[in-house]
């Protein structure tokens, strides 16, 4: 295929469904060869089939993104089969447990950190060396608005996404001189499996009943809209904003027109007010 990402290799974790599937389809449409990663082989095959029906190229790789050995092995296989990795989308994530910390299962709480933070760390570390050596590469970490504001009864999820946003900023500062860019994004509220859990589970209905209003009032968005942002970041439109937290709802063109001022004013960076 031809396109803005022709001949590039992209990796999408959590690519078996929802946002990850939309990202894979959009990146493949732009010409990338996409490695989709998830635990469910059946879901991966569905994603690959959808990409191929759209005329793109995708390959499935079953792995646990939070496991170091699985990550290293899968990345080696991807490189052998597809070549050097140009783009990494750290999308895999979970939202449980929901409820008061005082009642939370501590193992379940920590599992959220394993998937949402350790996973992106492992995959980022796994691709950074080669990206630095080649002096090119982009990494997009799928965060959440919950990482920038307090969300009661979702302490595990909010803590993991806040950490992911800061992780993005710090690593971006470490590698910007090597031609590698990182971004954290807020994709908007999408009806994914995670969203369905918050809507339908007993804990979700009890502790975050307000979440249903987003869908009832039609404030949710289609995953394809978030995929448009990922494609723009993937092709380098916003490299001058490396390290920033960018929302699907931001007017990216307007921000880019004033990018120097945005950087000077620390736009898109987590800061404590009054400091």
**Catalytic (active-site) positions:** 157
- The 10 Å CB-count burial string (b at 16+, else e) for 127-141 is bbeebbeeebbbbbb
Count of Cβ atoms closer than 10 Å to residue 22 Cβ: 26
Report how far apart, in Å, the C-alpha atoms of 22 and of each of 26, 132, 221, 229 are. Answer: 6, 28, 12, 11
CA dist 165 → 11, 12, 43, 142 (Å): 20, 18, 28, 9
Coil vs helix vs strand at 86? coil
Question: What's the DSSP call for residue 116?
Answer: I
* Separation CA 94–CA 142 (nearest Å): 12
**Angstrom distances, CA of residue 47 to CA of 16, 20, 93, 106, 227:** 6, 9, 17, 33, 15
């Amino acid at each position: 295929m031809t396109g803005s990402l022709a001949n590039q290799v992209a990796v999408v974790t959590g690519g078996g469904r929802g946002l990850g599937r939309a990202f894979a389809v959009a990146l493949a449409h732009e010409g990338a060869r996409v490695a989709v990663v998830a635990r469910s082989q059946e879901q991966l095959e569905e994603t690959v089939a959808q990409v191929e029906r759209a005329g793109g190229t995708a390959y499935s790789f079953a792995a646990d993104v939070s496991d170091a050995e699985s990550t290293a092995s899968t990345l080696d296989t991807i490189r052998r089969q597809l070549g050097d990795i140009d783009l990494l989308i750290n999308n895999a994530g979970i939202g449980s447990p929901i409820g008061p910390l005082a009642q939370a299962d501590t193992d379940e709480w920590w599992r959220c950190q394993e998937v949402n933070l350790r996973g992106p760390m492992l995959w980022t570390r796994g691709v950074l060396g080669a990206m630095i050596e080649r002096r090119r590469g982009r990494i997009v970490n799928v965060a959440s608005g919950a990482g920038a504001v307090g969300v009661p009864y979702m302490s595990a999820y909010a803590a993991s996404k806040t950490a992911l946003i800061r992780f993005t900023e710090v690593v971006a500062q470490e590698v910007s001189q090597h031609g590698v860019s990182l971004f954290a994004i807020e994709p908007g509220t999408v009806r994914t499996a995670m969203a369905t859990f918050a809507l339908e589970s007993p804990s979700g209905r009890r502790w975050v009943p307000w979440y249903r209003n987003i869908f009832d009032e039609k404030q949710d968005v289609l995953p394809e809209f978030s995929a448009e942002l990922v494609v723009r970041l993937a092709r380098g439109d916003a490299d001058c904003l490396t390290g920033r937290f960018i929302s699907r709802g931001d007017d990216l063109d307007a921000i880019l027109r004033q990018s120097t001022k945005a950087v000077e004013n620390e736009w898109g960076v987590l800061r404590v007010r009054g400091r």
